[in-house]
Structure 1
Amino acid sequence: MMNIRGKVLPVGEWGAVRYAFLFFFLISVCSAQPTLSVKGNTYEGAALFLTLSECADKNPPTAEIEGATYDFLPGGEGQWELVVPLSTESGGPVQLTVKCAEESFQRSFQVKSRNYGHQSITLNPSTLAGYDDPQNKADDRKIIEALETDRTPKLFDGDFIYPVQAPQTTGFGLKRTYNGWKKGWHKGLDLAGWEGEAVKAPADAVVLHTARGIVNGNTVVLSHGGGVGSVYLHLNSIQVREGQELRKGQVLGTVGGTGGFAPHLHWETRVHGVPVNPKLFFSVPS
């Protein structure tokens, strides 16, 4: 027999994030009595925080959602933990399937569609051409590969902080048209910042990747563990090395305009390589 308890609760507005739905449910399976706690926001570009208790299995339990399968990681007190992304194209009914030993149980819920808005941008033709340059595509692949193959145990504990205290100039998820024809979307937040201003790790982390890209400019990629990572582009300087461990608030570089842009910080948060709204992690469910 499967017992499911749950409800959907509206939460308040914070920053640019509105009309989110915070939900929590428990699923119990009779024999071994594993219990799954799921917390998070059920809208496009959000993430779910899963905790599985009483799962007696030598192999990590798994979760399947949106066609992807993720392994839980060991948490404290015999628990398993996992953060899963909800992509910006996930609006509508979604099913979460969790497998523990011989047991499998599901939860279906509705992901709320989000209209993140649209922006038209005019770029220098040489900068725009850089987006289609094979080297730029290779730069992006290295970032994604570093995040998707990361197996760092969870390092963060509690809420994240802003990497730089500066006004937001561009929000997450914004659809973009460049020079009237090229389409794209904004995978992070842009923070104004002044050139040379310190950029800090928003949570404990290890440095996964550093590079200089033709469009991304000076780049730092951090792992916060548990499948959660962050990306920093257009830096004026990089002050960390790959493999270095960072504490929350430790400087990783400085704000710049490398890659052909005016000085600002482009900051992404990704869960298993999928871009999610960085502001979600200002309030990490406990």
Structure 2
Amino acid sequence: MTSLRPLALLCLLAPPCVCRANAQGASLKPEAAVPGAVLVASFRLADGRKPVEIRASFRGNRPVFQPARQEYVALVPVPASAPAGKTPFYFKVRFGSGGDYSEVLYATVLARAFPEQHLKMPASKTGLMNSELLRKERELLYAAFEKCSPTRQWTGAFALPISGRESSPWGRKRYVNGKWWGQHQGVDIAAGTGTPVASDAAGTVVLAQRLEMRGNTVVVDHGRGLFSAYNHLSWIDVAVGQSVKQGQGLGAVGATGFVTGAHLHWEARIGRTPVDPMLLVQQPLPLP
């Protein structure tokens, strides 16, 4: 499939490069990225000792490290709200035999402008969006996003789940009736009802059911805390626990749930934090 955005989007990401490594081999890459991007943190032990615990923090997010060959690796989301500037990544390793290790690494968050959308909505609909129903639906999704496999199941760059016109980009700032409503957590792609929807990368289905707001929804766990989600489907062709390959059918475009017309709402997340799935399509993550 072809990209929905001009290649100029690549300019939003700095070319992959490795931050200076310390004696123990800690690194954070790339050195600079826009909101919506994913950083890769890694730690290589110099003497083969196994850590009891690895703790880290970036913009309030606590990434989970998983063993990968001779390293421990974590995916670190850069949230939409991250301000431009040099941002610390706090890193600490605890060993059972003592000799704990800590360091502060830095990544530069680049400025990224998000378009705005101003909507008018009757009180009956705004009330629904703030309802207990939406809260329960979020909790169900958050539970799915916590069922991550420690094993990386995908390789290379992600692929677009469908061809179509991008009708709403990731991060768009939304105002409803003149009040702040939040930022768009996915990418909307306009397409006709029944258009096949494919998995953007290999993984395992962890949720496949109808939700009141998001309609027929599929969530795929790609491993290492990385997930993709597909909303408003006409129907679902996969089941929880099923392994899928990149390009394998998940269902079809529809208008189920709280929508005004047929389209695919496509998300990528690191745990609960939304990231821009289009950036995963533009270039693969710099994983070891």
Q: TM-score range by the shorter chain?
A: 0.7 to 0.9
1:142 aligned counterpart, secondary structure: helix
- Determine the structure 1 residue equivalent to 2:3: none
Query: Which secondary structure state, in structure 2, belongs to the residue aligned with residue 21 of structure 1?
Result: coil
> Bigger relative contact order, structure 1 or 2, given CA contacts below 8 A and separation 6+?
2
Q: What do the CA deviations read for 1:233-279 (whole angstroms, capped 9, x no partner)?
A: 11100111111111111111110000142000000111121011111
Change (3 A) 1:125 1:270: same
Residue of structure 1 aligned with 2:105, choices 104, 107, 119: 107
1:10-159 matches, cutoff 5 A: 14=7, 16=9, 18-22=11-15, 24-30=17-23, 33-36=24-27, 38-39=29-30, 41-54=32-45, 56-59=49-52, 61-76=54-69, 78-91=70-83, 92-100=85-93, 101=95, 102-123=100-121, 126-159=124-157
Cα displacement string for residues 9-63 of structure 1 (whole angstroms, at most 9, x for unaligned residues):
xxxx736565433452344443xx4342523752222210223323532435333
**Pairwise mapping of residues 201-280 of structure 1 onto structure 2 (< 5 A)?**
201-261=199-259, 262-280=261-279
Q: What SS does structure 2 have at the residue aligned with 1:268?
A: strand
1:141-182 C-alpha deviation (Å, 9 max, x unpaired): 211232135344211111100011111111000011234446
Count of residue correspondences: 271
SS in 2 for 1:195: coil
Q: Give the aligned partner of residue 285 of structure 1.
A: 285
> 2-side partners of 1:239 and 1:199: how far apart?
10
TM-superposed CA distance for 1:193, in Å, is 1.4
Q: Percent identity?
A: 26
In structure 2, how many angstroms separate the alpha carbons of the residues matched to 1:152 and 1:72? 9
Residue identity in the other structure for 2:202 = D
Displacement of 1:103: 1.4
- Tell me the C-alpha RMSD between the 2 structures: 2.3
Q: Is the 8 A contact 2:64 2:75 kept in 1?
A: no
Q: How many angstroms apart in 2 are the aligned matches of 1:248 and 1:218?
A: 20
Gaps of at least 5 residues in structure 1 are 1-12
Under a length normalisation based on structure 1, what TM-score does the superposition of the two structures give?
Answer: 0.85
Write the distance in 1 (CA, Å) between the matches of 2:60 and 2:258.
37
CA distance in 1, matches of 2:50, 2:150: 21
Q: In 2, Cα distance between the equivalents of 1:158 and 1:164? A: 18
SS class of match (1:57): coil
- The match for 1:8 is none
Deviation, 1:90, is: 1.4
